[in-house]
């Protein structure tokens, strides 16, 4: 469910006409519905109410301060993976004890910053990382909470780039190694191991792999000499992009709560996509229609630098006209919807059946609220697009479109070249 709907054949975000926003901010831009964000957060919260979970929104999906703040105000924590995300997280006025920090390559500086910020804990992904955290904690004279990220070696059906819980993946620590660590905790006098973490992948539409992973974690938990207070079950809940029929939050909760309850731990979830994915769209304008010998191309003003998911994962996003044709049997074309970037891999959709559209028309790329802006770049020296949030019947620019000046920010020309 989301708040992007047609009224009289015009696309609205909540009570705001999308075309009017485009007229005001120009294209392309990301557009988020505040109500959808909050609603998705509440759905998970409600589904897991019986265990009073801490739901840490995964900032990598969408780290815009207004987006994160909207969720933090609802009681969300934040799942971070870098010093930059910590910096941004702290700007949302979050209680730092609701921040969890994952990632396999934390630097000494990042670790120090997070310890100083007094976050809830680090999700630790290797022995040398643990040693480094212990060392930094010692230097700062603090005892630091950590949770061990386990690699449960569970296969999931999703894009191979977003599988994270199999033994060939770079994430987490296998059970045998984790047990060895937990049997010699005295080697890390400045750490308190109080949690276990698993994140098996992303865009997972069924609960079965979670159950499989949790069963393994539970049997591991029973064999270790350390009392586990927190179980962080990661994120990964799949959403509808096209034809998927993912589990709903209540069904997911119903499937995994029995095993979680047996573990008697505080539960943390780290959903990103589930909350933000369908809360946002990318609005783009048709620049040209072009016919080659073989194909129709709809050339739009948003490219792979703005939304890389189709190019990178071959992922499907629904693409809809912002103003729908009134005719019952509107003519249609089959076209590749492509951006202006100088790469053949720059496309938003391939062989897509589209209502016949014209130059200057607006299109909405649906399901772009997660891993959209956060994965965007300046490739081809294209300024990053604006982000806009609708709250009820008002829209707010929550990030300005970059300017050409922003493109050279920090660049310097050595005197020899002047």
Which residue numbers are catalytic?
Answer: 342
CA dist 172 and 197 (Å) reads 8
3-state secondary structure 360-418: CCEEEECCCCCCCHHHCCCHHHCCCCEEEEEECCEEEEEECCCCHHHHCCCCCCCHHHC
Interior angle at CA 323, CA 321 and CA 326, nearest 5: 110
Task: Judge contact between 324 and 9, C-beta under 8 A.
Answer: yes
* Bridge partners, 334 (sequence order): 353
Strand blocks (E) in 292-411: 296-300, 319-321, 332-338, 347-355, 362-365, 386-391, 394-399
CB of residue 184 vs ligand LLP: minimum separation in angstroms? 25
Does 235 help bind ligand LLP (rule: CB under 6 A)?
yes
Does 271 help bind ligand LLP (rule: CB under 6 A)?
yes
Q: Given candidates 11, 21, 61, 231, which one binds ligand LLP under the rule CB under 6 A? A: 61
- DSSP letter at 400? P
CB of residue 199 vs ligand LLP: minimum separation in angstroms? 4
Does 102 help bind ligand LLP (rule: CB under 6 A)?
yes
Does 230 help bind ligand LLP (rule: CB under 6 A)?
no
Number of residues counted as binding ligand LLP (CB under 6 A): 23
Do strands 266-269 and 54-58 pair parallel, antiparallel, or not at all (unpaired)? parallel
Task: Judge contact between 74 and 93, C-beta under 8 A.
Answer: no
Does 317 help bind ligand LLP (rule: CB under 6 A)?
no
Closest CB to ligand LLP among 68 and 322? 68
Q: Given candidates 53, 77, 152, 236, which one binds ligand LLP under the rule CB under 6 A? A: 236
Does 234 help bind ligand LLP (rule: CB under 6 A)?
yes
Q: Single out the segment in contact with ligand LLP by CB under 6 A; choices: 271-279, 281-289, 388-396, 401-409.
A: 271-279
Q: Given candidates 16, 58, 62, 64, which one binds ligand LLP under the rule CB under 6 A? A: 58
* Bridge partners, 374 (sequence order): none
CA dist 55 and 278 (Å) reads 18
Does 77 help bind ligand LLP (rule: CB under 6 A)?
no
Does 122 help bind ligand LLP (rule: CB under 6 A)?
no
Residues that bind ligand LLP (CB under 6 A): 58, 60-61, 79, 102, 162, 164, 199, 202-203, 234-237, 270-274, 309, 313, 370-371
């Amino acid at each position: 469910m989301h708040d992007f709907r047609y009224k009289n054949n015009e696309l609205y975000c909540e009570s705001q006409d999308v075309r009017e926003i485009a007229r005001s901010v120009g294209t392309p831009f990301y557009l988020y519905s505040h109500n959808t964000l909050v609603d998705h957060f509440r759905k998970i919260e409600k589904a897991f109410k019986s265990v009073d979970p801490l739901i840490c929104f995964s900032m990598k999906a969408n780290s815009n301060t207004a987006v994160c703040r909207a969720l933090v105000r609802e009681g969300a924590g934040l799942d971070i993976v870098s010093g930059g995300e910590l910096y941004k997280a702290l700007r949302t006025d979050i209680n730092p004890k609701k921040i969890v920090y994952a990632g396999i390559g934390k630097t000494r500086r990042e670790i120090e910053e997070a310890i100083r910020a007094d976050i809830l804990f680090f999700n630790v992904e290797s022995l040398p990382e643990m040693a480094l955290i212990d060392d930094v904690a010692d230097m700062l004279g603090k005892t630091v909470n950590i949770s061990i990220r386990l690699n449960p070696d569970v296969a999931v059906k999703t894009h191979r780039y977003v599988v994270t819980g199999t033994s060939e993946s770079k994430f987490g620590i296998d059970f045998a190694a984790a047990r060895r660590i937990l049997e010699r905790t005295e080697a890390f006098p400045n750490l308190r191991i109080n949690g276990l973490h698993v994140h098996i992948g992303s865009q997972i539409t069924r609960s079965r792999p979670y159950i499989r992973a949790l069963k393994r974690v539970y049997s591991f938990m029973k064999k270790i000499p350390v009392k586990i207070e927190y179980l962080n079950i990661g994120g990964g809940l799949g959403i509808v992009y096209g034809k998927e029929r993912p589990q709903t939050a209540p069904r997911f909760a119903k499937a995994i709560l029995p095993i979680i309850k047996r573990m008697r731990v505080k539960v943390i979830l780290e959903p990103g996509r589930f909350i933000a994915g369908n809360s946002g769209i990318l609005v783009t304008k048709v620049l040209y229609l072009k016919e080659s010998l073989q194909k129709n191309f709809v050339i739009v003003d948003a490219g792979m630098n703005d939304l890389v998911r189709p190019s990178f994962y071959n992922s499907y996003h629904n693409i809809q006209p912002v103003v729908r044709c009134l005719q019952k049997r509107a003519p249609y074309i089959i076209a590749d919807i492509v951006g202006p970037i100088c790469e053949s891999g720059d496309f938003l959709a391939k062989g897509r059946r589209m209502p016949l559209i014209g130059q200057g028309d607006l299109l909405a790329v649906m399901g772009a609220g997660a891993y959209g802006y956060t994965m965007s770049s300046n490739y081809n020296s294209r300024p990053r697009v604006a982000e806009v949030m609708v709250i009820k019947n008002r829209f707010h620019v929550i990030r300005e479109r970059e300017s050409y000046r922003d493109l050279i920010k920090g660049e310097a020309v050595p005197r020899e070249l002047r």
